[in-house]
Amino acid sequence: MRAFPRRGRLTAHHARRTATCLWLAAALWLAACSQPAAARVEGEGWTATLEWSPQRLRSLQPVRLVLRVADRSGRAVRLQEVHAQADMPEMSHEPEEIRFWPAGEGTYEAAHNFSMDGRWRVRVTGRWDRTPFQATFELAVGGP
Ligand SMILES: [Cu+2]
């Protein structure tokens, strides 16, 4: 008897959450147009942030990347077997390896030179305890 109204509440809650997510996605998309210095991805129980500097990325220029991963309560997540690759979704050339090194709790740093201007995808994989971890960030190199 109690299951039905409970489910109803959950559904309403879910709808609100979905609306919030859509709003966030729109906000992030707008932010992407104004060249942010960071991108955020959320997964099952974790949030990953990728920051880059300089803010305006240029191909063949050194870029510093900082990856931060935290669990739902904001605690640093220690990943194992971190691998990262950058590729261009609109192109067919080989992906570029990005080597992250541990730089504190839940923090990883890398230095990289993107080989050309355009839209890049940075895909980070690893393991969080026994769970596979994967986060994909999008960033723009070059442009006006
Ligand atoms: Cu390319």
Cis preceding linkage at 54, omega within 30: yes
Span from the CA of 121 to the centroid of ligand 1 (angstroms): 11
Q: What is the pLDDT of residue 4?
A: 45
SS3 call for 82: strand
Instruction: Confirm whether pTM is higher than 0.75.
Output: no
Span from the CA of 142 to the centroid of ligand 1 (angstroms): 12
Span from the CA of 70 to the centroid of ligand 1 (angstroms): 31
Span from the CA of 131 to the centroid of ligand 1 (angstroms): 32
Average pLDDT over residues 89-99: 96
Q: What is the pLDDT of residue 66?
A: 97
Span from the CA of 116 to the centroid of ligand 1 (angstroms): 6
Each residue's pLDDT tens digit, 99-123: 999 999 999 999 999 999 999 999 9
Share of the chain above pLDDT 90, in %: 72
Give CA–CA dist 67/23, Å, rounded: 24
Each residue's pLDDT tens digit, 7-25: 444 455 455 555 555 555 5
Query: DSSP letter at 76?
Result: B
Domain ranges within the chain, ordered by starting residue: 1-34, 36-141
Number of neighbouring beta carbons within 10 Å of residue 68:
19
Give CA–CA dist 115/42, Å, rounded: 28
CATH H-level superfamily of 36-141: Macroglobulin (MG2) domain (2.60.40.1930)
Band the pLDDT of 143: cuts 50, 70, 90: confident
Q: What is the pLDDT of residue 17?
A: 52
Which phi and psi angles does 64 have, rounded to 5°?
Answer: -105, 130
Span from the CA of 109 to the centroid of ligand 1 (angstroms): 23
Q: Is the pLDDT of residue 26 over 90?
A: no
Span from the CA of 115 to the centroid of ligand 1 (angstroms): 7
Which residues are found with C-beta within 5 Å of the ion, ligand 1? Answer: 88, 91, 116
CA-based angle 105:109:113, to the nearest 5?
Answer: 170
